[in-house]
Every structure is written in C-alpha cells, then in structure tokens.
Amino acid sequence: MVVQEILTDYELIVDSYEQVRERPGDNEEQEKYFSGKKSNHTFKSQIIIMPDGRDIVDVVAGEPGTKSDITMFRENRDNFDPKQSFKGDLGDLGEDLIDTPIKKPRNKELTSDQKKSNKAFSSKRIFVEHRIRSVKIFRVVQDRFRLNPKKYEQVILTICGLVRLRIRALILPLEISAMSLG
C-alpha cells in the first residue's frame, strides 16, 4: 500500500497500556485476563503513533492483560511494511524492528554516556505517553471498564477517533483533499 511506503520514512513509536475490567465469571476467562502486573483482570491495548505525536497510526485494543507488549507487536506487525522501524520501551526488548533504550546490566550501573543516550531516546519517545494520556482523559478508558467486554475494542477505537479529531489529525490540507476528490 502507498500509506505503508510513506510510513517507512518515519520511525514510529509503539507503547502499550492496561485498563482494569470487571472480573469475568468464567474461570478460564479469569485466568486469561488476570494481569500479575496490575494484580487485577485487565484489557491491554497497544498504540502506534507518528514520531512527533501528530497522529495515531494504529491501535490494537482488547487483548488479555497477560499478553506481553512484544507478543502484541509481533502478532500485528504484518500491518506494516517489513522495512518499517519503531521506537519502543524495555517491554519490547528483543525485537529486531524496535529500537529500545539500553537496559541496566545485572549488578552493574549504566555509564554516563549510556544514561545520556537513554535520556535522548526517552525525549523522542515521550510523545506516545502524551498520546496515551490524551486517550485516558476520557473516563471510560481511565476507570474500570464496566460495559460489555465485547464492546471494548469499539469503544477504544471511537475514543482514538475523537482524540485524532481533537489534535486535528483528521483535517486534511486543502491541496490533499482536492487531489482525492479529483
């Protein structure tokens, strides 16, 4: 696709977040959605944005809370060009396509150059945290999800659409919209 080729010019930023949900009644579903990190039953969502936070490129919502960030990315990377590069956090460590910060070695400290490198890396990655915050401004995403669990993905995608409208990502420049009409 043309959009996938255009996106390869950018290093997209990827991050995940969890949202607490109502406890499922079925025992198998309870085990599937129980997140040890949050000590609760959660939905996990992944968001991929442009490098400057200008737009949300992709959203994966409603995965079980036990699923790791790297697994979510690997299951959905087919949506992107194989040459696409990404920036992630330490949850994405081990994926060739994702650039991650330097992890502190066991029983050792990072050098001052490595710390500076991580700080520069974080300053480029912070936009995804801001975009997640702008999604979580909506209370349905921030608090315990009490609606029908089957509607979770639809709700999250709707909220992401509202965020894109708020940040003016959906408004096309005049010359692009004229080209698409012609």
Tens digit of each residue's pLDDT (9 = 90 or more) over 27-42: 989 999 998 888 899 9
Note the pLDDT of residue 133: 95
Beta bridge partners of 56: 49
Length of the chain: 182
> In the chain, which residue ranges form alpha helices assigned H by DSSP?
2-7, 27-33, 69-76, 112-136, 139-142, 152-166, 174-181
pLDDT(179) > 60: no
* pLDDT interval class at 175 (50, 70, 90): low
Q: In the predicted model, what is the mean pLDDT of residues 9-37?
A: 92
Compute the distance between CA of residue 102 and CA of residue 135 in angstroms, rounded to an integer: 28
Q: In the predicted model, what is the mean pLDDT of residues 159-165?
A: 93
Contact 9, 83 (CB under 8 A): no
Token pair, residue 77, equals 């990377």
Domain ranges within the chain, ordered by starting residue: 2-103+111-181
Amino acid identity for residue 39 in this structure: S
Note the pLDDT of residue 19: 95
CA distances from 10 to 7, 46, 50, 133 (A): 6, 18, 7, 22
Amino acid identity for residue 148 in this structure: N
pLDDT(61) > 70: yes
Minimum mean pLDDT among 2-6, 49-53, 107-111, 156-160: which range?
A: 2-6
Q: Which fold does the domain 2-103+111-181 belong to in CATH? A: Nucleotidyltransferase; domain 5 (3.30.420)
Q: Structure pTM?
A: 0.86
| Lookup result for tokens 């710390």 | 115
Token pair, residue 125, equals 């990655």
- Output the 3-class SS for 106-150: CCCCCCHHHHHHHHHHHHHHHHHHHHHHHHHCCHHHHCCECCCHH
* pLDDT interval class at 4 (50, 70, 90): confident
Q: In the predicted model, what is the mean pLDDT of residues 104-121?
A: 95
* pLDDT interval class at 1 (50, 70, 90): low
